[in-house]
Amino acid sequence: MKRYEPPADWSIQAYKFALDPSDAQVLGLRRNTGAARFAYNHMLRRISAVQAQRAAEASYGVPEADLTPWQGWSLPDLRRTWNEIKQWVAPWWAACSKEAFNTGLANLSAALGNWHAWRTGTRKGRRMGWPRPKRKHARRSARFTTGAIRVDPGYRHVVLPRLGRIRTHESTRKLARRVQAGTAQILSATVSETAGRWCCSFQVAVQRTLGRPTHAPEAGRVVGVDAGVKHLAVLSTGELVPNPKPFNAALQKLGKAQRRAAQRIGPYDPKARRKRTTSNRWQRAQATVTRLHATVATVRADSWHQLTTRLAQQFDTVVAEDLHVAGMLRNRTLARSLTDAAPATLRRHLGCKTRWYSSILHVADRWYPSSKTCSACKTVKLKLSLAERTYHCTTCGLSLDRDVNAARNLADLVRHVDLELPGDATTGRGAYGRPVRPAPAGRAAGRETSRPAHPVNAGRQRTAADRESHFTH
């Protein structure tokens, strides 16, 4: 069957609904998610065994042509092998949807592909190790791409393959009306369990009408956003967005729940070095810990969604920083607070929502000295420690909160640069630009200052074409 390809002008969006399944439907959900885990683990063990067997045969001098046939890890190869062996390794396979097994095989293919890409140097970033087997009590999920996948016209049920009609906790009216109007097409559905709550997430191709909200201010407004820890974000307008700090608020309850779970009989005994049957009291205590973590994640996500939606609707241009959060987490003093604030979420959310509301997102260079630069006279300080929460300029005498000063510098970064965005971006419809780092006034010895020019380019005047080449859209 030919895969559905949405039109080029449609965007991909997710609609997530909490499910209210019956006891029989919960068993069906667990059966299908367990099938995905089983297929993943079995094929991983098979690939590992084949790899070890080939290495042993090669050590004995067996020719390459006589080695055990290699098991490919592309999705078609995994599917072909699974269909050949499933009647022996999983005689119960007919009780589950074929999409459940395909979920595990697709995840395994992606994991092995990432490992191989890192080994060959084609994938950058942190080290990708050999995939590990999925645990039985880990997060359960399964993805459906074919079959009966739809939203019930009554706005209170969803229909999934082999699971049937499942009631939802909330209305599905937003998605159902789009599907009925022909402006949305459901591509897939993913069921998952988090803290005992089952959810269904639809991947939908949406035809979105680009335009500014009716309540949006006048055009041409620019805002700089400085993400932080003390405040969730500081705007160039002077607004300080409070940080709910959900993990810090739940820390006392979380510590008490974890101590209670540690006193129960869990799945692993450190002294016996073996697995054992878990007690019901441990499972209840562990469920409490999971619910607290889920609440923290939900509060954090809600605070970022509210802020980024408001910024994309009320401003024409939003300027954010390219933060190296992984490097910032190496500071053990700020690691917990940074994880609780999740500052990298700002740019990810704005990247989508600025396209939805016809605004423009610009990402400042990672080494642009927004905190060290004076927003009035543009003088750059040599050093500025984290303890200095107020910026004092020795040149013009400006005294301002350092986060507000950084946000104003981010906003000025776009106001003083002549942007020529190609194509549809000239109308401000969701352009994604990365301005070049301007040379600071004064030579500073900090890491956030501009780097010296290359000897080949030394003394050459910058043209409009050079400025345009530094933008990535």
List, by residue number, the catalytic residues: 226, 321, 403
Reduced to 3 states, what is the DSSP secondary structure of residue 80? Answer: helix
Please state whether beta strands 317-321 and 360-364 pair in parallel, antiparallel, or not at all (unpaired).
parallel
The answer to whether 217 and 313 are in contact (CB under 8 A) is no
* Cα 185 from Cα 183, distance rounded (Å): 7
What distance in Å separates the CA atoms of residue 142 and residue 103, rounded to the nearest whole number? Answer: 6
- Secondary structure of 189-239 as H, E, C letters: EEEEEECCEEEEEEEEEECCCCCCCCCCCCCCCEEEEEECCCEEEEECCCC
Long-range pairs for 91-99 at CB < 8 Å and ≥24 separation? 93/35, 95/31, 96/31, 96/32, 96/35, 96/162, 97/32, 97/35, 97/142, 97/144, 97/147, 97/161, 97/162, 97/163, 99/142, 99/143, 99/144, 99/145, 99/146, 99/147, 99/161
Amino acid present at 311 = L
In the DSSP assignment, the letter for residue 275 is E
CA distance 435 to 419: 9
DSSP state of 267: S
Q: What angle do CA 54, 59, 63 make, to 5 degrees?
A: 65
CB of 200 closer than 8 Å to CB of 7? no
278 by Cβ neighbours in 10 Å (0-12 / 13-18 / 19+) ranks as middle
- For the chain, the residue count is 473
Which secondary structure element, helix H or strand E, spans residue 86, and what is its range?
helix 75-89
